[in-house]
């Protein structure tokens, strides 16, 4: 039970919040959010609207964010999803890190974002190893239709409005996540959305700031990297990136079904060393941004370098096998020096294991004489750029205090 006076000093404001919805009809997280001082401060601040309008906006956003995780049904989802899951060989690395972290306290998984399959693959790896399931933060575009019902009432996903600027939304979201972390672990994506170019995107700090604001002494961040031999929606993402526009989600799902024909891939999910939250000031933007870059860099080093990416990065419009192996060897040496998590030892292995998957997606083709040629340059470039963060190195200052 929340002690109302401990978080909102202005009792009249606090009482007014519940003029819209009686306290008995609110879940405990919603009550705790409404009792937070930062929410009360927003209500007192005006922001060009009346106090009643501000309360209504916050309640509307709370209704949108409210989610329920029904774990028995959540586990049973494996069965109807079997047709797609059987196409993916899930391989986990360093999973004991997550097992130890959840025994010690609250765990915040922060991952890169390659595919819509991430929402299935990463939670299932966690569940396969007997680790308590986190609540997932996902883009609000995934909450329409039947998928939205599953996210909201089964998996316990939180709908996130990316790039939202409304102060009412931002204060509500941060307060909701901070209170959620008092009760659940959390999984979210440091890049926000998927990358259309293949490169790791710059970190987003909204959810991370909320996690730091939760101020749980037993919280730790577990960096998490997911990598695929082939990304299911590779053609879709690469061509959306070249046209610089996003397709409606329903249309993208239809295209993903088409690209799923013949699709087969490994999915590597790699857990990294915990990053404690103590020592970072939630009120310091510099601290939060430094932490975000530290997490992104950690994820980048955990990211599994697979043969398809090496072949893509070493390819030329027309190249012999010997030349391709030589270029791949040089690239692998560079990646090794950068501390990459290599899934390939040399150029020969890269070409042996990476050629057939790329051919199966009509990205490259091999002539009878053994010469390799590019068929889908835009998609090939997408895979090549997945290694760019390891080749370019960090581009931000380290923390000095």
Please report the domains of the chain, with CATH numbers, ordered by start residue. Answer: 4-65 (no CATH), 71-302 (no CATH), 307-392 (1.10.10)
- Average confidence (pLDDT) over 285-295: 94
pLDDT at 47: 65
- Average confidence (pLDDT) over 167-185: 89
| Half-sphere exposure (Cβ direction) of 227: Cα atoms closer than 13 Å | 29
Q: How far apart, in whole angstroms, are the C-alpha atoms of residue 5 and residue 14?
A: 9
Are the beta carbons of 358 and 364 closer than 8 angstroms? yes
Q: Is the pLDDT of residue 357 over 70?
A: yes
- Average confidence (pLDDT) over 335-354: 97
pLDDT at 4: 35
Are the beta carbons of 372 and 366 closer than 8 angstroms? yes
Question: Who's near 286: CB < 8 A, 6+ residues apart?
Answer: none
Does 38 or 305 have the greater pLDDT score? Answer: 305
Q: What angle do CA 379, 384, 390 make, to 5 degrees?
A: 150
Could you report the per-residue pLDDT of 79-94, keeping only the tens digit for each? 566 677 789 999 999 9
DSSP letter string over 308-358?
HHHHHHH--SEE-HHHHHHHHHHHHHHHHHTT-EES--SHHHHHHHHHHHH
Q: How far apart, in whole angstroms, are the C-alpha atoms of residue 68 and residue 156?
A: 5
pLDDT at 11: 34
Radius of gyration of the chain (CA): 23
> How many Cβ atoms from other residues are within 10 Å of residue 166's Cβ?
13
Q: How far apart, in whole angstroms, are the C-alpha atoms of residue 82 and residue 84?
A: 5
Q: Is the pLDDT of residue 70 over 70?
A: no
Q: Which two tokens stand for residue 262?
A: 């013949």
Helix (H, G, I), strand (E, B) or coil at 307: helix
Q: Which two tokens stand for residue 46?
A: 């005006």
Are the beta carbons of 253 and 119 closer than 8 angstroms? no
Beta bridge partners of 364: 374
Closest CA to 313 of 339, 300, 331, 301: 331
Q: Is the pLDDT of residue 56 over 60?
A: yes
Torsion region of 393: left, alpha or beta (phi above 0 gives left; psi -120 to 50 gives alpha)? left
Q: How far apart, in whole angstroms, are the C-alpha atoms of residue 163 and residue 160?
A: 9
Going by pLDDT thresholds of 50, 70 and 90, the confidence category of residue 69 is low
pLDDT at 146: 59
């Amino acid at each position: 039970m929340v002690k109302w006076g401990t978080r909102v000093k202005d009792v009249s404001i606090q009482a007014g919040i519940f003029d819209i919805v009686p306290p008995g009809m609110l879940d405990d997280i919603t009550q705790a959010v409404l009792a937070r001082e930062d929410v009360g401060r927003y209500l007192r601040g005006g922001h060009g609207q009346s106090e009643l309008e501000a309360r209504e906006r916050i309640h509307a956003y709370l209704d949108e964010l409210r989610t329920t995780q029904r774990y028995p049904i959540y586990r049973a989802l494996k069965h109807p999803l079997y047709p797609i899951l059987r196409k993916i060989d899930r391989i986990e690395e360093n999973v004991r890190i997550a097992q130890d972290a959840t025994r010690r306290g609250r765990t915040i998984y922060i991952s890169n974002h390659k595919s819509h399959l991430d929402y299935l693959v990463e939670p299932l790896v966690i569940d396969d190893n007997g680790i308590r399931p986190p609540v997932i933060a996902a883009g609000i575009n995934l909450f329409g239709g039947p998928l939205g019902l599953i996210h909201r009432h089964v998996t316990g996903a939180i709908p996130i409005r990316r790039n939202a600027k409304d102060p009412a939304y931002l204060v509500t979201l941060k307060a909701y996540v901070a209170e959620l972390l008092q009760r659940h672990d959390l999984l979210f994506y440091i890049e926000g959305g998927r990358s259309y170019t293949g490169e790791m995107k710059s970190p987003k700090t909204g959810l991370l700031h909320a996690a730091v604001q939760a101020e749980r002494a037993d919280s730790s961040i577990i960096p998490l990297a997911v990598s695929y031999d082939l990304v299911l929606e590779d053609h879709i993402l690469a061509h959306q990136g070249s046209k610089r526009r996003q397709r409606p989600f329903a249309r993208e799902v239809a295209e993903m079904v088409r690209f799923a024909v013949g699709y087969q891939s490994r999915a590597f999910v790699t857990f990294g060393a915990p990053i404690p939250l103590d020592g970072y000031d939630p009120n310091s933007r510099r601290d939060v941004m430094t932490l975000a870059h530290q997490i992104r860099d950690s994820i980048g080093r955990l990211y599994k370098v697979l043969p398809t990416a090496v072949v893509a990065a070493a390819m030329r419009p027309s190249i012999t096998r010997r030349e391709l192996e030589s270029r791949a060897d040089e690239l692998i040496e560079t990646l090794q020096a950068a501390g990459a998590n290599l899934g390939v030892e040399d150029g020969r292995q890269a070409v042996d294991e990476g050629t057939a998957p790329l051919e199966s997606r009509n990205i490259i083709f091999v002539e009878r004489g053994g010469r390799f040629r590019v068929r889908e340059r835009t998609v090939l470039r997408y895979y090549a750029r997945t290694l760019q963060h390891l080749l370019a190195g960090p581009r931000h200052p380290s923390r000095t205090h």
